Structure 1
Amino acid sequence: MNPFELLGVGRDADEREIRRAYTAKLRHTRPDDDPEGFQRLHEAYQRLLQIRRHQANQQPPVTMAAPVAPPAEPRPASTPTSVIRAEPVFVPQRLDIDAFCSEAFGRAATGDNRMLSEWLQEQPAFWSFRAKADIGQQLVRRLYRDEPAMPTKCLHVLLNFFDLDHVHAGHDALALQRLSRRSQLAWELMPEHRQALAARMNMQRRPLERCLARLQRPYTWWRALAAGFTPNSAKVMPQFIRELAGPFIEDLPPSVSQEQIRFWTSVGHKNPVSGSQLLFMAGVLSMLSLVVMLGAAATTVFSSQTDMPRLALLGIGVAWACGLLWVALRYYFVLDEWLSRDEDEPARWPRLRLATVPLLLVIGLIPCLLLPLSRGMGFTFLLPALWLSLRRYWRRHDHEGFYVSPGIARIGLLIAIVALPISPSWVFAVATLLAWGDDLRRHRKVLQLAG
């Protein structure tokens, strides 16, 4: 059969078109399934390459007519007839796997999937299916090991060329998804591809560069403190991290500091209070104090008012008092939620959780019993103990309504009438013990089972 017709190319096809046609035919004519067809296809391919090389060397063209054989010489009848092939059997070329993988990853990092596909088609080492399968397995192992930066479309081109983009290839679906995410994120965070990242996140280039610069710096306490000088970053940075990697922040490349990720994530959380939040709030308060001091200094210099330093100190004190109040409220919300959990819900330090209210009560009664100490100091513990005990009772019995048995209510009212003229601290103490004790009585069965 005519080799041009067998490969499906025209008579003016060059070597590149011949190689492409041969590679396309090999997908349907495998040596394991059709050895004779593969042999014919390979001989036609070698024949066409030989024709083109003769034409390139300006030699007379090779005609396709069958050569005229010279008269056969008589030979002994005992000599067996042998078939001599005109073309040698194709032997796959040796390939440097490391060099090939490095070049393939470099071409994939450009993001041009069409150029990558054409380059793979032109590699002569892949004209053997066995060699192609072996190289594909080694390439996949290096993909999982190195996790090179490339877009997802180029990763799919590599896997599709080696016929490894399906379930039967032996991939772990989760591992393949993670590889795709990590390669895509590493590619987007390369400086030359920031524009593609800005387009995906629908952000301007300059804000994106500022946010990435913050995430790529090493985490230090003074950087966390300085972050408070831009209070809006507490909202911007956590949102940027969510849009950048979603819930898969561990898949970000090593160029991004995971400590910075944890810092900004904790700053965006409301509860619980962390050291990162305290550093950030200290930075905010320091910025406010600096602004107030500069304003007071400028007012003093350009006007005749002399009381501006005092007003500045007063403003700084109010700012820091508001900051301390914010910290106290955050810790109160954490403590209130911890104390109000049911016994069957998991909680840290269950015994301490049970004894917190009586412990605050005892600490508050000690200054009231010892005359040399101020009683106001005791109320700083008695009032939180009473409020936390009532909150614990209300939250754990809200499905039943605020209910205290009549006997306990009468006893509490009697003690309040007797003790109120003597000492209000004892009224707080008794009310705290009544709420705490009645809550324990209602949960006594659960406490016995837990014990």
Structure 2
Amino acid sequence: MSPFRYLGLTKRATIVEIKRAYAAKLKQTRPDDDAAGFQRLHEAYQAALEQARHRDLLNEAGLLNADTDPTGEHEGEDASVDLWPVFAAPEPAAEIPAMEALPETSPPAEPALADDGETEVLTFDFARFIAELHQAADGELPAFQHWLDSHPDLYSLSLKDQLAWPLMEYLASAERPLLPKWLAALLHFFRLDTVGSRSYELDHFIEAAQQHAERYWRPNAIAHRYRDGRGSVIDRLLFRELQRPLHAGRRVFVTLVPGLPTRIWEIAAELNTVPVDYQQRVADPEAVQFWLDQADPSRIGARRAIAGALQILLVVALICLLPDSATLALPAFIVLYALWWLVSWNRTRVFRKQQAIAEGRAAPGSGFDWRWLWLVFLAAQLARLAAQ
């Protein structure tokens, strides 16, 4: 059977059509389910690509004509003239490298001719290789690269090609993926770091493995920066707050101390850049969401307004400790709370403007809105009336 017939194509199929047919066939023939079928499919794909490139070269040179150009009408098995080599599907179990567990007493080896002239079957223990891979990845990056270069099973180029698909499929959903730099070294070793690999689905698994590694390890990097001694004492305390379940007293304290709500929002926003299922390994998603809503600088919600009022009440309470200052409590609260609204509103406008610029959107007007000064004058009048 010709490779084109095996892929369900005519001999005039383009390289793009061959790749699409191969990707479609891969959905039905998986290397971990049918290693022999996958090998036949891969050989048909490579043969069809080679023949298509050869045909295109002859066509560009003007060496193909209507008499010799193979078409769909002459691609039967009994065609008298066939310009292209025939792809013969191998027997089911004779010459296909099998992904089977290898006895410990028989190390993996390159396919070699036996005494009777038949090809020896190459066996490979994929589960053992994965275990060794993770063990090597726990060390330093140079040691990991040396392990790849010196692994005896990986001297075989054909085995490396066969391993690419199941290895990337595994790493795309591994419970504990490789660190991004270690994964990049692995992709480079298997020659999978170039643009456009051997199939669309393999490219998909490579991209999924890279995203999985980045999302898995990013929360650890954030936690290491804030929790493990690299941040300030305040940052460590705030990050610890994001790791714990709800505690009303602790959250009221953070809310009332000026500057802390903004800082804990910044840490929570950084944690929020990764999905919740990755984030929850280092923080409490409920706590992260609480502080994102509580201290959101893009709006003044009810929680933020109440927190501002409580902060002003603390200041007024300190003022009332002065002699003969009890009558100033209400006027001071009105004026200070009006000033709080003015400052908070304009800080919100500045934040929205910076956010719009960062996202490439049209920025709103100037950062400071002087029209809100009427609030201060109104507060002053109310304070004067309250003092009478």
- Give the TM-score normalised by the residue count of structure 2: 0.44
- Give the TM-score normalised by the residue count of structure 1: 0.39
